[in-house]
């Protein structure tokens, strides 16, 4: 007992330091949200930008030694675990949402929009990877197998962020519009395909056949766990527990997601895939008693998401900003806009939509946001992407997402100018 008391006394200052750091991070995130509202941007953009830049800014102002005194390695490691746990919990709700929203999505034209917003961006990703090879940028190329590198870059260019798009649609009163429903349905399909391609890229990144087989075993383990969750929740016992003990079920669901994610990581895959498998395995029934538990787990993860942004900024951007390849950054932004914008427009037109609706869909499909960062984190943690390659993709994700609001407002004004007596397709409410 005495030894246990000593360990507790030793851990107390460390935990207090972590909690203090987390409180500062949440305060920084609050500032970012307020700035984003002032600029009529989604709040998550403010959280991401401020979170990513806060660590490198402090290091630049105070120096590395002072920064490590303020945030020593032991505290940073615990903070990194908290950030990873928050990401896992958030992903449970995000992956589950990919299935539940699909039922009410319009089918007409969805295939064309999804194809147009997926295939061209994949091709632009191949072009971006080709530019890295052509310029012999070894810092961006890394040492991953070539097929894995090319596929990971292609997947990173193809992502459309469902949560950010849904928030933009809700805040602008476009959730029930033809463009909004079609874009959201297509984004759900694209992100589902993106997770499959991401899994393939990570498996290819193992290099040798033995490592690939090890990845297959890890995926099989995750699939078994996912099936256990799925059939467990469908039992009458689980339904009764969800109704009578909602808090207990919420804790169990969160703990299960964390356990599967950590086990997948231990087996050589990324924890992100484990969390996604758990979320996808939850039965899709909006009236089911477990929906409250899923929503609570996802909210808890979302509350810790700012820690993920700060940790990513410190690990990825520190040192990368001073050696950034401006050619690669410019190419990523241009190709990102071309792939999603042109592809989404042509897909919508091929699906029978008007030019105005097709333009709106093209803008919406270009939003990437948090989902892009999650994919990039998976590529970074698996060793396929380097920090120098992640930086241009982060800039691309933030730029394309920030463009959505102003471009939609511009399209609204253009539509109103062409039809003076008509009401605009979307409201001018602020994006919160």
Average pLDDT over residues 296-310: 88
Higher pLDDT, 156 or 179: 156
Distance CA 269, CA 259 (A): 14
Mean pLDDT for 331-346 is 94
Helices (H), 159-270: 162-171, 178-204, 209-234, 236-244, 246-266
Give the dihedral of Cα atoms 216, 217, 218, 220; nearest 10 deg.
90
Separation CA 270–CA 352 (nearest Å): 40
Q: What is the pLDDT of residue 328?
A: 93
Confidence of residue 210 (pLDDT cuts 50, 70, 90): low
Question: Among the ranges 43-57, 162-176, 386-400, which has the highest mean pLDDT value?
Answer: 386-400
Alpha helices in 39-109 (DSSP H): 43-62, 64-70, 73-100
d(CA 246, CA 42): 31
Average pLDDT over residues 232-237: 85
Residues 25-32, mean pLDDT to the nearest whole number = 91
Cβ count near 20 (within 10 Å): 11
Lowest mean pLDDT among 5-19, 152-166, 308-322, 351-365: 5-19
Quote the mean pLDDT of the chain: 83
Among 49-53, 324-328, 337-341, 375-379, the range with the most confident prediction by mean pLDDT is: 337-341
Mind listing the pLDDT tens digit for each residue in 251-262?
Answer: 999 999 999 988
pLDDT of residue 107: 61
Calculate mean pLDDT across residues 213-241. Answer: 84
Sign of the torsion angle spanned by Cα atoms 80, 99, 402, 134: positive
Cα distances (Å, whole numbers) of residue 249 to 20, 100, 275, 289, 365:
29, 20, 17, 10, 36
Q: What is the pLDDT of residues 114-123, one digit of tens each?
A: 999 999 999 9
Distance CA 136, CA 152 (A): 18
Instruction: State both tokens at 422.
Output: 């008509």
Residue of 426, 424, 423 whose CA lies nearest to 404: 426
Distance separating alpha carbons of residues 167 and 248, to the nearest angstrom: 30
pLDDT band at 432 (very low <50, low <70, confident <90, very high): very low
Expressed in angstroms, the distance from the first to the final Cα of the chain is 51
Average pLDDT of the residues in 102-112: 64
**Mean pLDDT of the region 290-318:** 86
Mean pLDDT (whole number) for 226-251: 86
Is 103 a residue whose pLDDT tops 50?
A: no
HSE at residue 289, side-chain half, CA atoms within 13 A, is 17
Q: What is the pLDDT of residue 109?
A: 77
- pLDDT band of residue 6 (cuts 50, 70, 90) is very low
Q: Which fold has domain 92-301+329-418?
A: Na+/H+ antiporter like fold (1.20.1530)
Contacts of 120 (CB under 8 A, 6+ apart): 338, 339, 340, 342, 343
What is the pLDDT averaged over residues 59-66? 85
Q: Read out DSSP for 94-138? A: HHHHHHHTGGGS--TTHHHHHHHHHHHHHHHHHHHHHHHHHTT-H
Residue 430, pLDDT above cutoff 50: no
Of all residues in the chain, the percent with pLDDT exceeding 90 is: 23
- pLDDT at position 13 is 79
CB 268 within 8 A of CB 64: no
Segment 307-325 shows an average pLDDT of: 78
Burial 287-312 (b: 16+ CB within 10 A, else e): ebbbbebbebbbebbbebbbbbbbbb
The whole-angstrom separation of Cα 304 and Cα 290 is: 22
Q: How confident is the model at residue 427 (pLDDT cuts 50, 70, 90)?
A: very low
- The mean pLDDT of 11-37, rounded to a whole number, is 87
Q: Please give the average per-residue pLDDT across 236-242, as a whole number.
A: 84
């Amino acid at each position: 007992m005495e030894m246990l008391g000593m360990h507790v006394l030793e851990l107390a200052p460390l935990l207090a330091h972590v909690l203090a750091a987390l409180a500062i991070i949440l305060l920084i995130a609050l500032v970012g949200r307020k700035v984003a509202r002032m600029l009529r941007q989604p709040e998550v953009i403010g959280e991401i930008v401020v979170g990513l830049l806060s660590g490198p800014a402090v290091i630049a102002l105070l120096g590395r030694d002072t920064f490590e005194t303020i945030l020593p390695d032991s505290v940073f490691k615990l903070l990194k675990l908290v950030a990873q746990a928050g990401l896992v919990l958030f992903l449970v709700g995000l992956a589950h949402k990919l299935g539940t929203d699909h039922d009410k999505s319009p089918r007409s034209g969805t295939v064309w929009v999804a194809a147009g917003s997926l295939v061209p961006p994949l091709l632009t990703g191949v072009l971006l990877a080709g530019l890295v090879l052509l310029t012999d940028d070894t810092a961006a190329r890394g040492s991953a197998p070539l097929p894995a590198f090319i596929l990971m870059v292609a997947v990173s260019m193809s992502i459309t962020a469902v949560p950010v798009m849904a928030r933009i649609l809700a805040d602008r009163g476009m959730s029930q519009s033809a463009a909004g429903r079609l874009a959201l349905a297509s984004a759900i399909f694209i992100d589902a395909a993106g997770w499959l391609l991401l899994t393939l890229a990570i498996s290819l990144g193992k290099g040798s056949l033995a490592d690939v087989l090890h990845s297959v075993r890890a995926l099989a383990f995750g699939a078994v766990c996912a099936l256990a969750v799925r059939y467990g929740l469908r039992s009458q016992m689980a339904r009764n527990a969800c109704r009578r003990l909602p808090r207990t079920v919420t804790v169990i669901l969160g703990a299960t997601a964390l356990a599967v994610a950590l086990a997948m990581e231990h087996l050589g895959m990324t924890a992100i895939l484990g969390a996604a498998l758990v979320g996808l395995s939850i039965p899709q029934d909006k009236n089911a008693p477990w929906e409250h538990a899923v929503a609570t787990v996802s909210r808890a993860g979302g509350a810790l998401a700012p820690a993920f942004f700060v940790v990513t900024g410190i690990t990825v951007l520190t040192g990368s900003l001073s050696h950034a390849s401006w050619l690669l950054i410019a190419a990523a932004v241009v190709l990102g806009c071309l792939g999603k914008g042109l592809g989404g427009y042509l897909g919508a037109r091929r699906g029978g939509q008007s030019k105005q609706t097709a333009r709106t869909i093209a803008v919406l499909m270009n939003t990437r946001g948090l989902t892009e960062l999650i994919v990039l984190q998976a590529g970074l943690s698996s060793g396929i992407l380097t920090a120098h390659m992640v930086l241009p993709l982060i800039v691309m994700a933030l730029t394309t997402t920030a463009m959505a609001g102003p471009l939609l407002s511009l399209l609204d004004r253009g539509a109103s100018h062409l039809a003076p007596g008509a009401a605009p397709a979307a409201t001018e409410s602020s994006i919160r």
